Every structure is written in C-alpha cells, then in structure tokens.
Amino acid sequence: MATKSKPKSKAPRKPGKRAQSKQAIRDRIVKAALTLFQTKGFDTTTTKAIARKAGIAEGTVFNYFRTKEDIALFFFEEEVDHAIAAVRDDPRLRKAPLEEKLFTLVHSQLEFLAPYERFIGAALLHALNPASHLGAFSHRAQQLRHRYLAFVAELIEDSSPKRKTDNLSWLVPEAFWIYYLGVLLFWLYDTSKDKQHTLAFLDRSLNVGVSFLKAGRR
Amino acid sequence: MPHANTPTRRALKMASMGANVAGSYLGYVLQSAFAGKDKRKQKLKTTHTRVARKVRDEMLSLRGPAMKLGQTLSLQSGILPEETLNELATLRMQAPGMHPSLVRVQVKTGLGKQPEEIFETFSPEPFAAASLGQVHAATIRGGKAVAVKIQYPGIRATIESDFKWFRTITKPAQASGYIPKEAIDEMEEQIVAETDYDREADNIEFFRKKLSKLPFVEVPCVFRDYSSDKVLTMSFVRGRHLEQFLASHPSQRVRNQLGTNLFDLYYFQLLKLGAFHADPHWGNYLFNDDCTIGLVDFGCAKKLSGASLQYLRGVYLYPGSRHSAEFRRLLEANYAKHGKKLPGAAYRALVDFSAEYRKVYPPEKNKQFVFDFSDKTFLTNYIRHATNLFRTKHVMTDYIFMARAEMGLYNTLHALKARVPTSDIVRKYL
C-alpha cells in the first residue's frame, strides 16, 4: 500500500536512482488508472486494464497498490497535499484573510480534480459504501480527512487574533467538511462555462461563513 | 455553512432591506412626535443618512442589478434627499472587490495564464469597482500602463435570477401596466449584454473611431491580445471623477466649457451616430482642467433604429406649437409604426414632457440663448414630467435607456452649474 509522509521541516534528501525509478512506475500506474477511470468508468476498470495501459505486468501493479481503490485514494492524498501546499507555500497568502485562504484551498482541490470530473462523481458514490476503501469507515480515508481538517483548523486558528477557542471550536472543521462535500457536489453538477457558478458560490458562501464565524467569536 | 446569495437569499436580503428602511422611518415618526421643529429636522437628516447607508451596504453586497439600481437612484437629485444621494454616490465608484486569489483565477480563466505571466506588472488590488466587475492597474510589454477590467464570477446568472425574482414580485404592476413587460425585457437584455466583454470591446472600438471627430473626448483603446469575454484590457484614460473635480473649485468658465462639451457629446451621439453611451453614472466620466472628457465603460451602449432616429429628429426642436394637430400626428405616427395607438393620457404627458425640452433648447434661432443648468427647478420638473410620462404606461421601450442617459446628463450639468449654448449645439446636429 502506498503511504504518504507529512512534509518535514528539514529539506528532503534527493531520492536515489532506484527510488526515482519506483516513483516513475507509480506515476505511470496512477496516470493510466485515472485515464481509464475517467474514460471507461471507475467500476468497469480492472487492474489488468490499468497494467496494460501503463505498459507493465499486472503483478507489478500489485507491488505498488493492492486495489484500484488504493490508486484512487493515492490520487486524493496527492490532491490534498497539492491544495495544502498551494496555501502554505504561497507568500501572497501569508497575510490574506481566512476566506481567501480557504478559497485557495478548495479551489486548488477542484482544479486538481477537474481533468477527472467523471471519475470524481463515481468515487463519491463509491465512498457511500461502508466497505469501500474510499468510504468514511476506511482507516486510510479517515487519516486523510483528519490531515485535511487539521490544516483547516490551523488556518482558522491563525485567523483569530486572540486565538480564542471554546467548547464548540472542534465543530467548525467538521462543518467545513460537510461544506466541502457540498461544494464538490455543486461543482460536479455545475454546467456553467468555466464552472463560473461554482466560483461565485465558493466566494460568496466563504465570505458569509467566515463573517458568521467572526461574529460568533465576538 | 449558509449558502450566500442564492436567489432566495438575495430576495430575503432585499426584503429585509425594505423592512429595515421602513423600521428606521417608523422610528423617526415616533420620535419626532415628541421633538421640536429643529430637532425633528435634524432627526430626519440623521434618519436619511442611516437608511441610505443600510441600503448602500446591502446593494454593495448584492452587486449586479441591485447595485446598478443604486447607481441609477444616485442620479435622482430632485427626488431623493441629499443625504441619501451622498451615500448612494459611493456605489458609483466602490464595491466589495474580489480578493486577489479570485482575481488570479478569473484572469487565468479568461486569458489562460496567471497575471504575472501575461502582464509586466499587475496590481492585485483594484483601483475601481463596477456593478459587474472591478478594474486593476497593470503594464503590458513595453511598459504601457493599462486598466484591466475583470468580471465577477457568475454575474450573468445573478442578473438572470434577480430579474426572475423582480418579474415575480412586480406581477401586479405588470398586469396593471405600470411596469410594462417589454420595459423589463429591455432592461434585462441591456444589463445581460454588459456581461459580454467581447461586445464591450466592439463598442469601445466603435465609439473610439466615431468620437474621434470630437477633439475634447478621450475614449480608451482595447488591447485584444489581453482581453476575453471576462477580462477587458484598455489604455488608461486621464481625468478625475466629478466629485474630485468639483472639489478643486474649477472656474465658471471651465464649468461652462465642460458642460458645453458634455452636451455636445450627448447630442452628437444621439443625432449623428444613432448610438450612445447609456450608462451615465459619474464613475464613467472623467474630467480635466483643459475641459476634455474621458469616457469609460461602454458595456451599456444603446443603438437606435433608423425609424426611432428619424422620429427623434422630427420632434426635437419641432418649430411649431406642441399643441398643434401636426405635432400630435407626428407622435401618433411613431406609435403606429410600433403597432400601437397613442392614448390621450400619453399624448398629454408627451406634450408636457416635450415642453420641458423646449425650455432647454428653444427652437427659435436665437444664437445668444444659453441654458443655466444650475437651476434646480428645471431638473425637478424634468423628472416630474418624465415620471408622469412613465405613469401613463405607454412609453416606448426604445427610450428607456435614452431617458436614463438624459437624466444622467442633466444631473451632471446641474452639478457642474454649467451654462450651455444648448440650441446652437442641437441645431448643429439636426
């Protein structure tokens, strides 16, 4: 199973040739799988088809991922890493208001997912199955969600000048998760050109949401 | 998390705005019952300001048509109290902007790249805001300074949903004919058209070419390589907004010349081009000490049909009596062209309205005639007659934007306290 490490404060060592080659194969598998998920559908894609598309033996796929759900989860982990980095590494956002940081976070996610829209719809449905690796009861999916929400909580905490917390502070990131799923659904069903309705919805709802949050802290 | 600015939310916001306004004035009535005359007057002023501020804040947050309505209302001097006009005036130049991250997304969506990949410099903060977008300063290759107008996301859907809501709540007014369906159609069509920046670029190029005949007008040029349907890059136009310009206490000579130029500009567009800049709010005009005028924002430009233009030429400076049978035939013929009959009430209102025009530029060949726009009575009467005309429920939709442009012009001339040789100018273009 593929695992992702959290970013460390020390500069990472340059990977060796062997690691680079492993990384290249993993990337090939993920790219092939995503193309098939998007074009053929998530349910109908087999690991055999993924291996053929990636130009490797089916056994090699299993060296990297146990199931196609694992490949999907790996992709979602990359999506979250990408979005967190988009906020954390952008010097422009250092002094930006909370709503702008949250906007960048969610928009970066949507931008990352955009080429695979059809697959995202299927993956959301899949996640409703309690037995699925993508679902709420999967340990790895839960870890990913916690990492994402911990970052959201960090952003919210940073935005409060007095760092006020109360008994209901834990609820805010949880509410944000439900909001994020709502945005994802809105985006999936948005037929406007360049998804302009989603952008408008994201912008305005975050403005109102953050103003409510601030009002609650007064 | 609440869903902001959904159609229902926008409707609720507008309803609560109405309740807020009513509440404030009710509070004033109750308090004033126990106050002396002077105190009552003071309280009324405070109430006007408080109410106007509330209305302005709500309109700012709603953007789109609501903000446009506020901008139009801000030109209604003579009807609304000064305190209200002062607050609404800020709608002409300011609005809550998009944050820099959203601006970057919109530029990338419109032009395919991030601002820093396209422009040599790009200011993340806007220097002006409009009802449908905001404007940023930037420089392009070669260091040329430009103004980049960027559209708010989803603004077209906002307009459509606001009009859907407006149509619903005005059903009784539509059924009784007070707000004709065609008038709403016309307004929606024009405002929706403003969301298409490709079309606005065409308008700018049209007016830049045609208005080059007037040496005192500056129109920006469009940079097509840096523009799309949501991003519009134009050259900077110099000048100050009216309030700033007036704050520098220009001489009466300068005011008169600027007034003359403004009047000339409007009638040149109307009678020579048959097309005019129809968004007259003060944020769109820039004034200079050398009496030149910068014209910006060509999203709302109205083109008149040949028949409408011919009719206008016939009624403007009609030499005979407004009560003559010939004048009546002229009006009736225009209604007949649109398949309509001219009702008596509309005829009387048109005669009164036309008589107001006659005061501005009498048809007699009097070369010395100068109209003094500092006279507020004229403005009040003009608005009253225009309102009476609209109340007859028989106004041609073609003239809605013309009336808006004209009201804007007269308001600006009144603010300038300009004395203008009106008859000379109109006669020049007939």
For chain B, say whether A208 makes contact (Cβ under 8 Å).
yes
How many residues appear in chain B?
430
Residues of A within 8 A of B95 (CB-CB) are none
Residue B50 has pLDDT above 70, yes or no: no
**CB contact (8 A) between residue B102 and residue A203:** yes
Say which residue, A174 or B89, is predicted with more confidence. Answer: A174
**B99 in reach of chain A (CB within 8 A):** yes
Q: What pLDDT is recorded for position A5?
A: 46
Of the segments A65-69, A163-167, B83-87, B406-410, which one has the largest average pLDDT value? A65-69
Q: How far is B13 from chain A (nearest CA, A)?
A: 13
Among residues B162, B279, B297, B398, the one annotated as catalytic is: B279
For the record, the structure tokens of B257 come out as 């010349």
Asked if A197 and B5 come within 8 Å (Cβ–Cβ), the reply is no
B121-159 pLDDT per residue, tens: 999 999 887 778 899 999 998 899 999 999 999 888 888
CA dihedral A94, A95, A100, A105 (to 10 degrees): 20
Q: In the numeric block, which tokens belong to residue B378?
A: 């004229």
Q: Given CB atoms, is B152 within the 8 Å cutoff of chain A? A: yes
Instruction: Measure CA B145 to chain center.
Output: 27
Q: Map tokens 């308090």 to a residue.
A: B31
Kindly state the average pLDDT of the residues B2-13. 54
Contact assignment for B101 to A204 by CB distance below 8 Å: no
For residue A107, list chain B residues with Cβ-Cβ distance below 8 A. Answer: 101, 105
Q: Which helix (H) or strand (E) element contains residue B183?
A: helix B181-193
Who among B4, B109, B152 is closest to A205 (CB)? B4
Average pLDDT of span B50-77: 57
* Residue B95 pLDDT: 46
pLDDT of residue B92 exceeding 50 = no
State both tokens at A161.
Answer: 């000048």
Q: What is the pLDDT of residues B244-275, one digit of tens each?
A: 999 999 999 999 999 999 999 999 999 899 99
Q: What is the CA radius of gyration of chain B?
A: 23
* Nearest-angstrom CA–CA distance, A102 and B101: 10
pTM: 0.76
The answer to whether B342 touches B394, Cβ cutoff 8 Å, is yes
Q: What is the pLDDT of residue B2?
A: 39
Q: pLDDT grade, residue A64 (50/70/90)? A: very high
Q: Helices then strands (H, E): number in chain A?
A: 9, 0
Q: Which long-range contacts (CB under 8 A, 24 or more apart) does B219-225 make?
A: B219/B294, B219/B295, B219/B298, B220/B147, B220/B296, B223/B140, B223/B146
- Per DSSP, B122 falls in state E
B179, B183, B184, B185: CA torsion to nearest 10? 150
Extents of the domains making up chain B: 7-92, 96-236, 242-430
Q: What is the dihedral of CA A105, A110, A115, A118, to 10 degrees?
A: 150
Question: Above 50 in pLDDT, residue A158?
Answer: yes
Contacts of B276 (CB under 8 A, 6+ apart): B266, B269, B270, B301, B302, B402, B405
Q: Which residues contact A82 (CB under 8 A, 6 or more apart)?
A: A108, A109, A112
Maximum alpha-carbon separation in chain B: 68
Spatial distance between the Cα atoms of A216 and A213, rounded to a whole number of angstroms:
5
Contact A100 B105 (CB under 8 A): no
Minimal CA separation from A83 to chain B, in Å: 14
Poorest-confidence range of B7-11, B149-153, B303-307? Answer: B7-11
Q: What is the pLDDT of residues B312-322, one digit of tens each?
A: 878 776 778 88
Q: Over the range B120-145, which residues count as b (16 or more CB within 10 Å of their CB) and which as e? A: eebbeebebbbbbbbbbbbebeeeee
With a pLDDT cut of 70, the percent of chain A lying above it is 89
B173: Cβ contacts below 8 Å, ≥ 6 apart: B179
CB contact under 8 A, B1 and A176: yes
Residue A107 touches partner B, C-beta closer than 8 Å: yes
Residue A112 has what pLDDT?
Answer: 97
**For residue A18, what pLDDT is reported?**
79
Closest residue in chain B to residue A204, using alpha carbons only = B4
Q: Which residue of chain B has the CA closest to A90? A: B101
Q: Give strand pairing partners of B122.
A: B138
Average pLDDT over chain B, rounded to an integer: 80
Nearest residue of chain A to residue B124 (CA atoms): A92
Min mean pLDDT across A8-12, B269-273, B367-371 is at A8-12
Which residues in chain A touch residue B153, judged by CB atoms under 8 angstroms apart? 196-197, 199-200, 203
Beta carbons of B1 and A175 less than 8 Å apart: yes
Residues of B in contact with A199 (CB under 8 A): 102, 105-106, 153-154
Residue B117 burial by CB count (10 A; 0-12/13-18/19+): exposed, middle or buried?
exposed
Q: What element of type H or E holds B252?
A: helix B252-268
B222 vs A146: CA distance, rounded Å: 49
Highest mean pLDDT among A149-158, B178-187, B216-225, B357-366: B216-225
Q: Which domains does chain A have, with CATH numbers?
A: 15-65 (1.10.10.60), 67-217 (1.10.357.10)
Q: Do B1 and A207 touch (CB under 8 A)?
A: no
User: Phi first, then psi: what are they for B233, rounded to 5°?
Assistant: -105, 125
Q: Write the CB contacts of B71 (distance below 8 Å, at least 6 apart in sequence).
A: B88, B91, B92, B131, B281, B283
Asked if B153 lies within 8 A of A199 by C-beta distance, the reply is: yes
The Cα B314–Cα B325 span in angstroms is 14
A60: Cβ–Cβ under 8 A, 6 or more apart, which residues? Answer: A25, A51
Give yes or no: B279 in active site: yes
Phi, psi (degrees; rounded to nearest 5) at B417: 55, 45
How does DSSP classify residue B81? -
Please say if the pLDDT value at position A32 is more than 90.
yes
Which residues does chain B have within 8 Å of residue A207's beta carbon, measured at their own beta carbons? 4
pLDDT band at B3 (very low <50, low <70, confident <90, very high): very low
**Are the Cβ atoms of B1 and A205 closer than 8 angstroms?**
yes
